[in-house]
Amino acid sequence: MKYFISTGELSGDLHASYIVEKIKKLDKNANIYAIGGKNLVKQNVEIVRDIESLAIMGFVEVIKQFSFLKKVLNETVDFILNNQIDRVVLVDYGGFNLKLLEILKEKKPTLKISYYIPPKVWIWGKKRVNKIALADEILVIFPWEVEFYQKEQMKALYFGNPFMEKYKPIEKIGENILLLPGSRKQEVVSLLPIMLEVVKEKTNETFILKLAKESDIEWVKFDENDYPNLKIETGKSLKELCENSKYALAASGTVILELALLGLPGIVLYKTSIINEIIVRLFIDLTFVSLPNLTLNREVYKELLQGECRADFVIYEMKKLENNYNQILSDIELIRSRLGGENIIENYAKIIIKGDNNELVK
């Protein structure tokens, strides 16, 4: 069969790569095309558009890029229809993928479309739910999402969180502090200067800065010689760096969940423009923003958002984290236990290939 996978950022690209690996084992005749990135490239998927151009963060930035995104959307629809794709898999990236879902179902109602990791409508409210309902299967990766969709008279399938099969707890904890400012330019530009303030202030600590790629350092100009206690890494895996660290300061996002599954404590940082903040406050009513905290419905990873995302607040919370370190490790173990399952990724892949049939998943 022919498959088309639509991702929009690195986290979706990573999740999609896990699914592709299983699809290829289950369907030996699979031909797979994608809007994707480096992880899908490693799976030898034919990339029709790289996600780097789609890494847009925030309402204002999306508006600025509206005409470009519309062009990409139209090109994607044409590709799927002209190449007689059998299965479409949408991965997160709600603004783009929901519109893609809507157009494809309008133009070809019989096309089978699975929404794997649908947008977080339980954060943004219910306006998008009706659009998600157009998908043939809704595949979620957090247990509370099933209940949410049930309340909307919709069926969502959950087999566990895929990261549970990929991220085993680290066996040792180091002495460094890991800095993870994110993969998107807006994140790095807003968070890295705050992190560097902390590095300069905490001269008794050694910090490791992990960047998605080496060129990202150009987004924030600074003299590395001014930070002798800072090491910059681009090649090592997150797990390797976690094994040499005692905790992390990290951008809000999927990486916080990765830290939890690896067993590393941390502090969540998030800062966006004033306009984006106003819009977020108007539409979002949520106690926590990070997935590990939502899993337990309490704050295991301290969240420093917007006005609280300052160097002095970070330093204060670092001290609190160190004082409560063992309790945080216990809470992280509980997070892992809530997200487990059996044959998680394979079960999702089976549904994508053959549809929602209870006989498929045992």
What CATH number did the domain enclosing 272 receive? 3.40.50.2000
What is the pLDDT, as a whole number, of residue 289? 84
Confirm whether 277 is domain-assigned: yes
What is the average pLDDT value for the chain, to the nearest integer? 89
Residue 94 makes CB contacts below 8 A (sequence gap 6+) with: 118, 119, 120, 124, 128
Q: Give the pLDDT mean for 298-303.
A: 96
Who wins on pLDDT, 82 or 234? Answer: 82
Same domain, 138 and 184: no
What is the pLDDT, as a whole number, of residue 274? 60
Confirm whether 362 is domain-assigned: no
Q: Closest Cα to residue 183, out of 9, 5, 35?
A: 9
Q: Length of the chain in residues, anyone?
A: 362
pTM: 0.81
What is the pLDDT, as a whole number, of residue 337? 92
pLDDT tens-place string over residues 246-298: 999 999 888 999 999 999 999 999 887 565 555 455 445 567 889 999 999 89
What is the pLDDT, as a whole number, of residue 95? 84
What is the pLDDT, as a whole number, of residue 100? 97
Report helix, strand or coil for 80. Answer: helix
Confirm whether 168 is domain-assigned: no
Confirm whether 165 is domain-assigned: no
Any idea what DSSP says for residue 157? B
Confirm whether 208 is domain-assigned: yes
Same domain, 251 and 317: yes
Q: What are phi and psi of 32, to 5 degrees?
A: -120, 130
Confirm whether 304 is domain-assigned: yes
Any idea what DSSP says for residue 111? S
Distances (CA, A) of 128 to 63, 102, 132, 289: 18, 11, 7, 19
Same domain, 328 and 192: yes
Same domain, 317 and 260: yes
Is it the case that residue 130 has pLDDT exceeding 60?
Answer: yes
What is the pLDDT, as a whole number, of residue 272? 74
pLDDT confidence band for 18 (50 / 70 / 90):
very high
Domain housing 85: 2-160+341-354
- Rounded Cα distance between 303 and 269, Å, is 6
Same domain, 112 and 228: no
pLDDT confidence band for 122 (50 / 70 / 90):
low
Output the CA torsion 47→251→116→83 (10° steps): -20
pLDDT confidence band for 362 (50 / 70 / 90):
very low
The tokens 């910059």 sit on which residue?
A: 232
Who wins on pLDDT, 151 or 139? Answer: 139
pLDDT tens-place string over residues 47-93: 999 998 776 545 445 555 667 888 999 999 999 999 999 999 999 98
What is the pLDDT, as a whole number, of residue 99? 94
Same domain, 231 and 122: no
What is the pLDDT, as a whole number, of residue 281? 53
Total tally of structural domains belonging to the chain: 2
Same domain, 128 and 204: no
Same domain, 199 and 268: yes
Report helix, strand or coil for 176. Answer: strand
Q: Which two tokens stand for residue 346?
A: 């394979």
- Rounded Cα distance between 292 and 296, Å, is 7
Confirm whether 11 is domain-assigned: yes
Residue 194 makes CB contacts below 8 A (sequence gap 6+) with: 269, 271, 309, 310, 311, 314
Same domain, 316 and 345: no
pLDDT tens-place string over residues 165-202: 999 999 888 999 999 999 888 889 999 999 999 999 99
Mean pLDDT check: name the lowest of 218-227, 271-280, 338-347.
271-280
What is the pLDDT, as a whole number, of residue 185? 85
Q: Which two tokens stand for residue 284?
A: 């979002």
- The tally of CA atoms less than 13 A away on the side-chain side of residue 286 is 20
| R_g of the chain computed on alpha carbons | 21
Confirm whether 202 is domain-assigned: yes
What is the pLDDT, as a whole number, of residue 60? 47
